Each structure stands twice: as C-alpha cells, then as structure tokens.
C-alpha cells in the first residue's frame, strides 16, 4: 500500500524521554509512518525510557516486519539542551534543510510551585528554549509544530467547562511561560503563512501504558497527586505526610475537582494534531494557528481520586485536610468539544483505568526506571 512504500516522515520530539514524550513517541511509532528523533536534557527523565519505548514498539512488530517497519521503532536520541542553540542546530544539520518534517515540542519545566521560587530558570528553559528552537526550525525550513501547552493558561476561569475561547490569564511563572509561548507561536503564524502550529492545552495527565513498560518516573517526591499516592502506596514516600489542600471549595464534596486524562489518550491527541497540521479545514484561512483542550470533559474530586486509589491499591490512605494551596482553583474541567469536532479527539479512559495503569507501572517498577 501507499503508506508502506512512502518514505518515513522525520519527526523531532523534544522532551522525548519524559512522561508525556515517551507515550507520544510510542503513539507515533505505532502508526509505522514516522522516524523519531528525540531531544532531552534528562533534567527530569532518564534515557532508559527511550530504550523501553523502542523495545515495546519492537515487540509489537510482526515476525516478518520490513526494514522500514523496524526503522520506525528506532529512535535517534540526542542528549542536549534547548537553551544551547548550536546543539539544536547540530541535530537539524544532520537531516539538512527540509529533512525534519515536523516537531512536537514537549520539553519544559513544569512545576508550578518551583516556578515561583526560580522564575528566571522557567523563563529561560521554557521561553528562551522555545525561541531558539523556532529560530533553528525556520533556518531549516521546518515550519510545523505541535506545542505542549497547559490548562493552567486559564488560571481561575469564568466559565467551567472551560472553552478554548476563554481569556488566557495564568497566575504562576510556569503558566505565564505557556501563555507567552502560545503568543509567540501565534505571532509567528501571523507573520508567515508557511507555519502551521497547534497548541495542546493539557488538563491533568495520569496513568501509564497498560503494559507497565513505560510510565511516569518523577525524580524525588512527586509534585502531582496521583503519582504521589502511588509512591505512598508503594512505600516510596512516607504515607503519613498526605495532605489534602482544602475541603471548603464550592464543589460537591468540598475538595478540588480536576479533569484527569489518560496519558495514552493524551498521546493520541498529539498524533491527531500532528496529522492536522496539513489540514485545510481547521485553520481560519488567514493564518495557521490553533489551540485545543486535551481533557475528558469530566471532573473528579481529590477525595474521589484518593478513594479510587484506595480501591486500586488496597492501601488505606490517611490524610489531613489543610488550608488551600496558593494558586489552586476549585473546579478545572475542560470543554473538549472543539478537539472532538476538529481533530476527532476523544479521551475515553476514565480515572479508574488511569489508577489501574498507574499502579500496574508502579508495581512492575518499584524503583521507577532505575532498577
């Protein structure tokens, strides 16, 4: 068929070794249409995840796989930092002008609290790095990009479920870097109609590939609720330190409500966005920039998540309710209608499946990737 004989498209994934990056690479590899180039500085990841993604993809190949199919499971991995423009340039040099078809730019610092402590590091690593990447892409005539944004760009939103038309008003330096990068990308598209850009605003990614071969592997105490609960149930983090940040929100049980999205669904959204970059339908005809929510459109409270993890793990979580955490909002749920209509995106897997797959990964990898 056409797809088996047409040349592989070279796609660069930044942050490829991370939690989101590894699952995105797996989704692309499954199509057997892409050759993956990965960049990562391993600030919050290890190159072992890429070896595992490749092994997982290879294990799904038929015995009579062609050399072309085998190539789709291999990763051209580069340990480098996007704040070093010459290092990015060297990766593009290897493929030459027009050699890289598109970029999925996931690499970033992502901890809200930390961004309040060290804002300059966030502006450099998230904004300056993105500028350098875009400059090099322009030089090599690579003008297609899927950008990892965040639901945090909405801050405390006036309407929930949150539509993409909501004004952007991030509260933390981290959130502001995401707003700034979206604005830079849109300005770039306005200036040059050869650019096609899709920003994906993630709600709360969770879970792991059901094989338990790849998953989230945070360094140190996890900052996010679900991996924290998994680490506590596994005995990696002292379970007596569990705190719930506020139970006086105007929500059904008083705790915060979040829109958790299975990492496999989130990854599938990146593939759909990558394919949509060449679409003639989704852009407004003047310039080619769009942003989409990636969420389930379904809210789950902090208490419900703790209960779901209790059922999954059998671990009896004890927690103390303390004051609200600065910057948290009560209700943060996506309106996923636009991504469904224009990308054909639908996140089907519910939080019970996320907990199951998270715990499966945790159980099979008690010490993460560092076994």
For the annotated catalytic residues, the residue numbers are 174
Indicate the burial class of 145 (C-beta count within 10 angstroms; 0-12, 13-18, 19 or more): buried
- When binding is defined by CB under 6 A, the residue of 224, 247, 275, 307 that contacts ligand WQD is 224
When asked if residue 333 is in the footprint of ligand WQD (CB under 6 A), the reply is no
Contact stretch for ligand WQD (CB under 6 A) within 192-200, 218-226, 334-342, 353-361: 218-226
When asked if residue 290 is in the footprint of ligand WQD (CB under 6 A), the reply is no
Site residue total, ligand WQD (CB under 6 A) = 18
CA 301, 205, 296, 149 torsion-angle sign: positive
When asked if residue 244 is in the footprint of ligand WQD (CB under 6 A), the reply is yes
26 CB-near residues (< 8 Å, 6+ apart):
53, 56, 57, 209, 214, 267
Provide the 10 A C-beta neighbour count for residue 160: 19
Helix (H) or strand (E) holding 61: none
Site string for ligand WQD, 311-330 (x = CB under 6 A): --------------x--x--
- When binding is defined by CB under 6 A, the residue of 130, 204, 296, 360 that contacts ligand WQD is 204
| Distance, CA of 306 to CA of 315 (rounded, Å) | 10
DSSP structure string for 13-48: EETTTSHHHHHHHHHHHHHT-EEEEEEE--SS--TH
| Distance, CA of 93 to CA of 105 (rounded, Å) | 18
Q: Which lies closer to ligand WQD via its Cβ, residue 106 or residue 268?
A: 106
Site string for ligand WQD, 147-166 (x = CB under 6 A): ---x-x--------------
240, two tokens: 């007596």
Buried b (16+ CB within 10 A) or exposed e, 17-47: bbbbbbbbbbbbbbebbbbbbbbbbeebbbb
Provide the 10 A C-beta neighbour count for residue 117: 10
Scanning residues 101 to 130, which ones bind ligand WQD (CB under 6 A)?
A: 110, 112
- When binding is defined by CB under 6 A, the residue of 256, 266, 268, 276 that contacts ligand WQD is 256
- When binding is defined by CB under 6 A, the residue of 94, 243, 326, 341 that contacts ligand WQD is 243
- When binding is defined by CB under 6 A, the residue of 23, 144, 176, 258 that contacts ligand WQD is 258
Q: Which lies closer to ligand WQD via its Cβ, residue 162 or residue 256?
A: 256
CB of 343 to ligand WQD, least distance (A): 19
Under the rule (CB under 6 A), what is the footprint of ligand WQD? 110, 112, 150, 152, 202, 204, 223-225, 228, 243-245, 256, 258, 302, 325, 328
């Amino acid at each position: 068929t056409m797809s088996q004989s047409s040349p592989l498209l070279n796609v660069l994934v930044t942050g490829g070794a991370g939690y989101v990056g590894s699952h995105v690479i797996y989704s692309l590899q499954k199509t057997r249409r892409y050759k993956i180039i990965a960049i990562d500085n391993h600030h919050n990841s290890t190159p072992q995840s890429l070896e595992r993604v490749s092994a997982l993809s290879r294990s799904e190949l038929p015995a009579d796989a062609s050399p072309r199919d085998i190539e789709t499971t291999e990763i051209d991995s580069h340990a480098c930092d996007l704040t070093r423009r010459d290092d990015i340039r060297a990766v593009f040099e290897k493929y030459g002008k027009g050699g890289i078809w598109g970029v999925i730019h996931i690499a970033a610092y992502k901890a809200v609290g930390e961004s309040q402590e060290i804002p300059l590091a966030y502006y450099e690593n998230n904004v300056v790095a993105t500028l350098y990447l875009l400059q090099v892409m322009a030089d090599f005539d690579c003008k297609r990009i899927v950008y990892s944004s965040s639901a945090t760009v909405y801050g405390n939103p006036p309407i929930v479920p949150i539509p993409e038309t909501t004004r952007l008003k991030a509260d933390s330096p981290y959130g502001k870097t995401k707003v700034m990068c979206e604005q830079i990308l849109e300005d770039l598209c306005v200036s040059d109609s050869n650019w096609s850009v899709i920003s994906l605003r993630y709600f709360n990614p969770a879970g792991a590939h059901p094989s338990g071969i790849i998953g989230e592997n945070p360094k140190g105490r996890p900052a996010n609720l679900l991996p924290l609960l998994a680490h506590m149930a596994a005995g990696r983090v002292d379970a007596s330190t569990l705190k719930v940040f506020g139970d006086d929100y105007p929500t059904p049980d008083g705790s915060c409500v979040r829109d958790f999205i299975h990492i496999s669904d989130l990854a599938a959204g990146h593939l759909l966005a990558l394919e949509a970059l060449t679409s003639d339908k989704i852009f407004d005809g003047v310039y080619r920039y769009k942003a989409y929510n990636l969420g389930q459109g379904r809210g789950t409270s902090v208490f419900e998540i703790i209960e779901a993890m209790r059922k999954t793990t059998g671990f009896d979580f004890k927690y103390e309710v303390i004051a609200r955490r600065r910057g948290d909002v009560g209700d943060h749920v996506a309106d996923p209608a636009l991504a469904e209509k224009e990308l054909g995106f639908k996140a089907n897997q519910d939080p019970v499946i996320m907990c199951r797959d998270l715990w499966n990964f945790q159980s099979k990898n008690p010490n993460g990737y560092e076994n």
